[in-house]
Each structure stands twice: as C-alpha cells, then as structure tokens.
Amino acid sequence: MNATSATISFEDFQDAHPADIAAALAELSPQAALTLLSGFPVNDQAEVFGYVEEERQAELLGLMTRTQISKLVSAMNADERADLYNHLPEEMQEIILPGLAHVEREDMRALAAHEEGTAGAIMTSDYAVLAPDLTAREAIDKLRREAPEKETIYRTYVVDGERRLIGSVRLQELILADPRKKVANLMEEDPLFARVDEDQEEVARKIARYDVIAIPVVDSEHRLVGIVTHDDAIDALEEEATEDFHKLGGAVSLDESVRTAGLVTLYRARIVWLVVLVFGNLLSGLGIAYYEDTIAAHLALVFFLPLLIASGGNAGAQAATLMVRALATGDVRPKDWGLMLGREFLVAAALGLTMAAAVSGIGFFRGGPDIAGVVAASMIIIVIIGSIIGMSLPFILSRLRLDPATASAPLVTSIADATGVVIYFAIATFWFMRNGAAAGLG
Amino acid sequence: MNATSATISFEDFQDAHPADIAAALAELSPQAALTLLSGFPVNDQAEVFGYVEEERQAELLGLMTRTQISKLVSAMNADERADLYNHLPEEMQEIILPGLAHVEREDMRALAAHEEGTAGAIMTSDYAVLAPDLTAREAIDKLRREAPEKETIYRTYVVDGERRLIGSVRLQELILADPRKKVANLMEEDPLFARVDEDQEEVARKIARYDVIAIPVVDSEHRLVGIVTHDDAIDALEEEATEDFHKLGGAVSLDESVRTAGLVTLYRARIVWLVVLVFGNLLSGLGIAYYEDTIAAHLALVFFLPLLIASGGNAGAQAATLMVRALATGDVRPKDWGLMLGREFLVAAALGLTMAAAVSGIGFFRGGPDIAGVVAASMIIIVIIGSIIGMSLPFILSRLRLDPATASAPLVTSIADATGVVIYFAIATFWFMRNGAAAGLG
C-alpha cells in the first residue's frame, strides 16, 4: 500500500459523506479504490464500506490481506456485516469468520441465518434496551454509555428479564421526566413490532404507515431479537419496487445494477420469459392456421389483425399493471377480486366501445360494411376479455402464492394476443357464414 | 352529532394507532366515520385526519360545520394542513382560511404555494431551530419547551441572524456535552440540505442515501424554510414508483386508489393511450397492406406474424422497463446512452439468436426451408431492433425533458410491432424474389 499517494487523493474527501466516498470508489479501478479507502481511519473505512455495492465489496476484499479484512469487518455495523457475509462466496466467508471476536461471530451467524426478504435479514443488533425498573436518570446514563455504538437511541425498547418486548420509551420523554421516575411508568406498553420471519416489504410499510424511525423485531416467544431502521426500510421498498418493475417488464428480477451487470447475467434474466412467450405466441399462429379458409377468402381481415390483438394486449397490460401495483402497496387486497372484476368490466366495456368507434370508420373505408362490423364487434369483445385477463391474472397468481408481478405486460399481451386471434376470426367466420357476404383485400 | 353512540363505537379504538383508526374510517360510511371521529379529543382527531385519504378528507369536511372544520384544521400538523388545503376544491379552501389564526394562515399559504412534486410541497414548518451562541444547556431547555410541537428534534438546525442554515446538531451531542459549551462548537457545519424547488424524488433519495431522519430545505438565499422528514420521503418515493408503474402500463398516472377511484376517472386514465396506440397499430396494418402480394403468394407467413412481432415487442418492453427503472433510481444516467446501447446490442443479438433457434424448426415443419430461413433471419433482426428501440426510448424522452416512464410497455410494443411487420415482410419479399421459391399455407 502506498501511503503517500493514498493521503494525497484522500484529502479531497476528508469532509465528504461516507455515501459520497463510496460513490467515488465505484468510479475507480479496484486497486485505486482500495488505495483511496486505506487512507481513512479503520472506523471511517468500515462506514464507507457499508455504502459500497455488493459486487465492489467482494472485489475490494479480494485485494486485501487477511489482517486488513478482519480489521475492516470487525469495525462494521452488525447488520451491514451480516449483509456482506450473506453475499460473499463461501471461500471468502471462511476468511472473514476467524478474524472476528466470538460474540461478533455468533451475532453475525445469527443475523445471516435469516431468510432473504424477511425482517430478520434486514434487522440490526445495534440497539440499546432498558429494564422497566430503571429510573429515568439511570436510563439516560445507560444510553449515554451505549449510545455512540447504537444505530438509534431516540426510541429505546424496554424488555423484561426474559428479554420479552414489553414497551418502548422516547429519549425525549426520559429527558423531560422527573429523573427518579421509573421507566415502567414512562414507557408506552404494547409497542408496534414485526415478527422476525415477516416479509421485509410488510415491515417497511409498517414503518412508513406508522411514521416511526425504527421497529423492534421479535421471535415466536415475543423476545426482542433486533430492530429494523427506517433507512433499511426505504432500501427494502426500493428493492422490491425494482423487482416488481423488472418482473412486470418480463425479466427475471435482477438484483444488480443494470449498468454494471455482466452481459451473461442480463441475457439470463431476459431469455427465460422470451422463449416461454415464443411458445405462447405460437398459439396465436395455431389460431390463424385454424381459420386459414376465412383468411384466404377475406384477406382484408389481416390488415386489422395487429391492431385488434395489440388493443386487447394493451388494455390487458394496463389492467395488470394497475392491479400488480395496487396489490403490492396494499391498496387492493386479494379478497377484492369480485369487486374489481365488476368495476373492470364496466370500464373495459366503455374503453372497447370508444376504440371500436375509432376504428370502425377505417374498417368501412378499407373493407366495406362487413369488415367494419366484424372489426368493431371484435374490438369491443377483445378489449373486455383482454382487460379481464390482465386484471385477474395478478389475483390468480396471488391465490397460488406466487408473486402477482409475474403477470408481466409481455405475458398478459401474449395471452390476450392468442385470445384475440381466436375471437377475431371466430366472429369473422360466423359473420360471413351468416351473411354470405364477400370481401377481399383487392 | 350523537355523542353517546360515538362514545360507544369509539371505545374499541382508544388504544389504536391513528393510522389504524384512519383505515377503519375508510371502511365506514362518511356519516358513520364522522360520528366515530368526533368521539376523539380534537388533537387526536387532527392526528387521525392526517392519515385519512384525500377524497375521504374532503367528504368528511363536507359534513362538518364551519366551527368543527376550523377547530380540526387548526389542530393539524403544518404540512398535513397545507397538503389538505392543496387538494380541496376552491369553495372548501375558502371555508378553511377564515377559521385559522393569522400566523397559521400565512404559514399554510406559504407551504401550499410550492409546486407539487417539489421539496417545498412535502416539507413541514414544524421544526425547531437553534442560534449558534446558545449553550448546550440553553439549547436543551429551548428544545424541551418547543419539542412536543415539533416533528423531530433528534437533529436540530442552527441558523444565523438572517435565518441562513449554518449547521446542525444532534440531541445526543447536546446531552452528552459540557452544558456550558456553545452550540457553535458542537454543531456540524455545512449540513446536507435540499433546495425548496428540488424534485421530491431527489430529496427522498438524499434521505435514503445519507441515512438521515430529516433534511433541511433552504431557499435561494440559503435561508431555512422547512424540513422534509423520512416518512414524507417514503411516501414521495412510493408515490413516484406508483406513477412510474402506471405510466409503464400505458395509463395516465392515477393519484387515487384503484379500489375507490371513480369509473370515469379510471376510464380517462386509460383511454388516451389506448386510442393513441390504435393509430400506432394501424401502421402495422399499412405495412401489411403494402406487402399484400407477398402475403397472398405465401400465406404460411401469416402463421408466424403474431409470434415475430410479439417477440420484438417483448424484448423491447423488457429493455424499456429495465432502463426506465435504472434511470429513475439513478443507477443509469442519461449520459450513459452510448455505453448501454453497445451492451444492449450484444445482449439482444444473443437473445435473437436463441429465439431464432427455438422457432426455425417450427418454421421448417410448417413451411419448408424458405419459410424457416425467413422466420429465423426476421427473428434475429426484429429482436435486436425492438430491444434497441425499447432501450433508447427512455433516454430520448429524458433528453426531451419528458418522463422516461412514458416509454410504456404498450408504446414500445406498438412501435416494435409496426417495425417488425415491415422487417418480416421486407425480408420475405427479398428472399422469395431472390430465390424464386414458392411456399404456400396449403
């Protein structure tokens, strides 16, 4: 390590926020990033390192000596350390473990053991607790001693002898109170909490809904095992929103940066659905093959094919997107299906009528009154059915305990396409059979 | 108002969180909700009312007397009051204003004057400030007096004689410090801040990025004019994510609940894009009309039409979704277009090759070697072009200072569809002209 060059480049960053330094590290080569990072005292290094992206963290550790690694990792926050540990390849995990003190090691193993996506996985063990029989003065003294290491002391949790969560008290209240008053008399009972296996998105929404800075996490015996802070909650919500976005676009969720992810990773995230949809779209082809006589007799029908099937797909994609988001934010619950179905039917009928009006003129102009009638009737039915498919799919997926966001725009579009082909040509075949009319492209 | 029945139903809610009471109000009829709400002391009413949805707020106010309204509104938080005011119809705004004290009225007008979507619109004026020449003891006394009314006192902002933001100090530090030490010597200088006209999403991301509970907001003279708290930041991020979701699904952004929004509102949010896309999809029809001779001669081509155009649309929708989200979270910046274009080309080429391999067998089986060749070549080119359109559109929109999320899946699909039709039939025409081969559906 060249200490001189590190000191020089690092002076520009002395007043910078750790998050900004981490962002700067991302722009440098791994070796240059390590040199810059090493210029800081180890506690600052650890804080900066907590803001560094996962892939970059692994790269940097790969360049460090074992001593450097264990110093850095020991200085990190408990939850960030557990996060880091979770994302490292196994051989690196084995390098980290021996360098930690026994308590830290156990703590990290406990935090790392929770399933991804649960409260347990995003909680931290850096928090202070109080006993109910402390006085306000004793409580403040305890917080003074422990506070600098704890993530938040603005609200402290009160636990009984078995570490069961029995209340919470605000720092403000401890300060304002008579110093001899007991914590038991100052605390709010039955505080808000999250279960350790609760979905991280639900926990984050609790924090947002109840406007709190942190939420205590308890195990099945109601023992306090950690806290989730508001910043980790924002991260969790952002992560889940990104995941839903990617799914909705028909990609497997990507937990890396789109800018830096490997091309093979991007390929893999996208190919699965694309190939599945190829076979889905072949159904549309089968529909066409089935009605080939109608098509051969009335070639003008082909002119409207892309428009009609796309309209059903578009209306369906809209309906699916609105429902996926509404289910994700809790605006709509799975039991609301019946209500939403009725509403969707009415809205879709109005949409279909408007769109039929918009195209029937063109249908008349290009193919005469028969084509105009077939196109208008098909448009109304295709838009209604496409919308109902799009709106229902997220509910069905949610009942099957799958993620509603799997009802991606491409998936809904493909299903609506195949349905649209059949509806369109079935109506046309029926219409022309009944009327014995003839219409051709020429 | 029937006080007895109100007291009865309200007892179940005495220990409930205001957010839960607000949720319960949403399930009741407006009149029953008002009866329940009126059972609480006015300060609790105001707190609950802040959690009630906008439409419901207006309904409830419509049922109250002027005296009830002014009592309730006076007791609300400054930012929630300004929010409420902003969303009310004009005649209700005029009912509210006279009931407020002069200071509150000016304060609300100032807060309400900021443009929707900016820091100014989501900030609150409920915060404490300190002068730099106070001692730690004096500062704590001031906070003790003012704190109960303020949204957050964990970090207090320090302003000079002209109210310019010069620093910030944590409550923790004031408590731990020598009581005679000056705030000027305890504060951190140059604190993080947001400008009053800054985009709310950017402000929320600053709060998330720097893991702070609140961020001070300054005007063009660097005077402190408000603070944005973490809970309002989460709400802002959620709101923007929902907006992006709706846009991506091809709906005009809906700022109401999908469950309770009027059917006309839902219709309006969806019809605009659907009709625009109808005319977009007619372009596909024109492409088909242009190549009608090729189609008439080789009807087997129609079998693959939905598949090929859908594949281009699906790949494009994926690429657009990934980019819209990456641009929204700041993962990718507008200047990264060149880099992303190169990466997209490589990924799309690999996707196209895989999909061509998947369908060429079916092409051979249904239409012979010529159809197989045309379908495979078309698939590769359509997927590459669809992906590049999908990936570029968000960048183009962002350069035109439009929202990248306008590059919705339906829009990208429609553009890719029309492009796909032309590519497919152009390749087919060229192929059959060159080879003089003949293939038909029968």
pLDDT tens across A264-276, in order?
A: 888 988 888 888 8
pLDDT of residue A355: 93
Please name the member of B147, B259, B383 whose beta carbon is closest to the beta carbon of A172: B147
A141 touching B, CB under 8 A? no
pLDDT at A83 over 60: yes
Please name the member of B204, B246, B354 whose beta carbon is closest to the beta carbon of A321: B246
Closest CA to B348 of A247, A270, A414, A408: A270
pLDDT at A164 over 90: yes
Chain B residue numbers with beta carbons less than 8 Å from the beta carbon of A307 are 278, 281-282, 284-285
Please name the member of B250, B331, B351 whose beta carbon is closest to the beta carbon of A258: B331
pLDDT at A11 over 50: yes
Q: Which of residues 155-174 of B touch A (CB under 8 A)?
A: 171-172
CA–CA distance from A336 to each of A244, A331, A343, A391, B258 (Å)?
21, 10, 11, 12, 11
Q: Which of residues 17-76 of A touch B (CB under 8 A)?
A: 17, 19
Closest CA to B41 of B21, B61, B63: B21
Query: Which three-class secondary structure state does DSSP give residue B288?
Result: helix
- Classify residue B253 by its DSSP letter: -
Q: Specify whether the backbone of B152 is left (phi greater than 0), alpha (psi in -120 to 50) or beta.
A: beta
Chain B residue numbers with beta carbons less than 8 Å from the beta carbon of A323 are 258
Of B8 and B311, the one with more pLDDT: B311
Strands A214-218 and A224-229, bridge-based pairing: antiparallel
pLDDT of residue B5: 39
Chain B residue numbers with beta carbons less than 8 Å from the beta carbon of A288 are 302-303, 305-306
Q: What is the mean pLDDT of residues A427-438?
A: 77
A266 touching B, CB under 8 A? yes
In residues, how long is chain A?
A: 442
Structure tokens at B134: 């106070």
Please judge whether A231 and B211 are an interchain contact, meaning their C-beta atoms are less than 8 angstroms apart: yes
Q: Which of residues 320-339 of B touch A (CB under 8 A)?
A: 320-326, 329, 331-332, 336, 339
A231 touching B, CB under 8 A? yes
Whether the Cβ atoms of residue B417 and residue B325 lie closer than 8 Å to each other: no
The residue among A238, A364, A391, A414 with the most chain B CBs within 10 A of its CB, best to mutate, is A238
Please judge whether B258 and A320 are an interchain contact, meaning their C-beta atoms are less than 8 angstroms apart: no
Q: Which of residues 301-320 of A touch B (CB under 8 A)?
A: 302-307, 309-311, 313-315, 317-318, 320
| Number of C-beta neighbours around residue A12 at 10 A | 11
| 3-state SS track over chain A | CCHHHHHHHHHCCCCCCHHHHHHHHHHCCHHHHHHHHHCCCHHHHHHHHHHCCHHHHHHHHHHCCHHHHHHHHHHCCHHHHHHHHHHCCHHHHHHHHHHCCHHHHHHHHHHHCCCCCEHHHHCECCCCEECCCCEHHHHHHHHHHHHHHCCCCCEEEEECCCCEEEEEEEHHHHHHCCCCCEHHHHCEECCCCEECCCEHHHHHHHHHHCCCCEEEEECCCCEEEEEEEHHHHHHHHHHHHHHHHHHHCCCCCCCCCCCCCCHHHHHHHHHHHHHHHHHHHHHHHHHHHHCHHHHHHCCHHHHHHHHHHHHHHHHHHHHHHHHHHHHHHCCCCHHHHHHHHHHHHHHHHHHHHHHHHHHHHHHHHHHHHHHHHHHHHHHHHHHHHHHHHHHHHHHHHHHCCCCHHHCCHHHHHHHHHHHHHHHHHHHHHHHHHHHCCCCCCC
The contacts of residue A102 (CB under 8 Å, 6+ apart) are none
Give me the amino acid identity at B67. Answer: T
Q: How open is the CA angle B428-B432-B436, to the nearest 5 degrees?
A: 180
pLDDT at A284 over 60: yes
Q: Which of residues 113-132 of A touch B (CB under 8 A)?
A: none
* Smallest CA–CA distance from A314 into chain B, residue: B410
Residues forming beta bridges with residue A165, ordered by sequence position: A159
List, in sequence order, every beta strand (DSSP E) within B221-368.
224-229
Most confidently modeled range among A56-70, A124-138, A376-390, B99-113:
A376-390
- Classify residue B33 by its DSSP letter: H
Give me the amino acid identity at B15. Answer: D
| Number of C-beta neighbours around residue B261 at 10 A | 19
Chain B residue numbers with beta carbons less than 8 Å from the beta carbon of A263 are 343, 346-347, 350
Q: What is the pLDDT of residues B226-235, one digit of tens each?
A: 899 888 888 8
Please judge whether B355 and A278 are an interchain contact, meaning their C-beta atoms are less than 8 angstroms apart: yes
Please judge whether B285 and A303 are an interchain contact, meaning their C-beta atoms are less than 8 angstroms apart: yes
A86 touching B, CB under 8 A? no
The full set of domains in chain A, from first to last, is: 3-113 (1.25.60.10), 129-229 (3.10.580.10), 263-435 (1.10.357.20)
pLDDT at B182 over 90: yes
Distance between CA B441 and CA B429 in Å, rounded? 16
The mean predicted confidence, pLDDT, of chain B is 84
- How many angstroms separate the CA of residue B259 from the nearest CA in chain A? 6
Strands B155-159 and B129-130, bridge-based pairing: parallel
Of A176 and B149, the one with more pLDDT: A176
Please name the member of B271, B305, B318 whose beta carbon is closest to the beta carbon of A251: B318
List phi, psi (to 5°) of A124. Answer: -120, 155
Whether the Cβ atoms of residue A191 and residue A167 lie closer than 8 Å to each other: yes
pLDDT at A9 over 60: no
Distance between CA A7 and CA A5 in Å, rounded? 5
pLDDT of residue B69: 85
A282 touching B, CB under 8 A? yes
Distance between CA A347 and CA A345 in Å, rounded? 6
The contacts of residue B111 (CB under 8 Å, 6+ apart) are B78, B79, B81, B82, B120, B121, B123, B124, B125, B226
Q: What is the pLDDT of residues B387-406, one digit of tens each?
A: 999 999 999 988 888 888 87
Of A43 and A12, the one with more pLDDT: A43
Please judge whether B175 and A140 are an interchain contact, meaning their C-beta atoms are less than 8 angstroms apart: yes
Structure tokens at B181: 């030490």
Whether the Cβ atoms of residue B273 and residue B251 lie closer than 8 Å to each other: yes
pLDDT at A131 over 90: yes
Please judge whether B410 and A331 are an interchain contact, meaning their C-beta atoms are less than 8 angstroms apart: no
Among residues of chain B, what percentage have pLDDT more than 70?
Answer: 93
Q: How open is the CA angle A344-A350-A352, to the nearest 5 degrees?
A: 95
pLDDT of residue A115: 79
Distance between CA A407 and CA A416 in Å, rounded? 12
Structure tokens at A245: 């976005």
**Residue pairs spanning A and B at CB distance below 8 A:** 333
Q: What is the mean pLDDT of residues B91-96?
A: 78
Distance between CA A419 and CA B306 in Å, rounded? 12
Q: Residues A237-242: contacts with CB within 8 Å, 24+ apart?
A: A237/A201, A237/A204, A237/A205, A237/A208, A237/B234, A237/B237, A237/B238, A238/B208, A238/B237, A238/B329, A240/A200, A240/A201, A240/A204, A240/A328, A241/A328, A241/B241, A242/B325, A242/B329
Distance between CA A312 and CA A416 in Å, rounded? 6
Residue tagged 């093979």 (tokens): A264
Q: How open is the CA angle B396-B399-B402, to the nearest 5 degrees?
A: 85
Please judge whether B299 and A296 are an interchain contact, meaning their C-beta atoms are less than 8 angstroms apart: yes
Q: At what angle do helices B230-248 and A200-209 cross, to 10 degrees?
A: 120
Residues forming beta bridges with residue B227, ordered by sequence position: B124, B216
Whether the Cβ atoms of residue B183 and residue A183 lie closer than 8 Å to each other: no
Query: Which three-class secondary structure state does DSSP give residue B15?
Result: coil
Whether the Cβ atoms of residue A200 and residue A119 lie closer than 8 Å to each other: yes
pLDDT of residue A438: 46
Whether the Cβ atoms of residue B45 and residue B38 lie closer than 8 Å to each other: yes
pLDDT at A6 over 60: no
pLDDT band at A262 (very low <50, low <70, confident <90, very high): confident
Q: Which of A1-5, A67-71, A150-154 has the lowest mean pLDDT?
A: A1-5
Q: Which of A76-80, A438-442, B209-213, B219-223 has the lowest mean pLDDT?
A: A438-442
Distance between CA A123 and CA A322 in Å, rounded? 31
Structure tokens at A392: 């229902």
Structure tokens at A158: 């009160």
Distance between CA B243 and CA B245 in Å, rounded? 5
Please judge whether A275 and B354 are an interchain contact, meaning their C-beta atoms are less than 8 angstroms apart: yes
The predicted complex's ipTM stands at 0.73
pLDDT of residue A113: 75
Distance between CA A107 and CA A95 in Å, rounded? 17
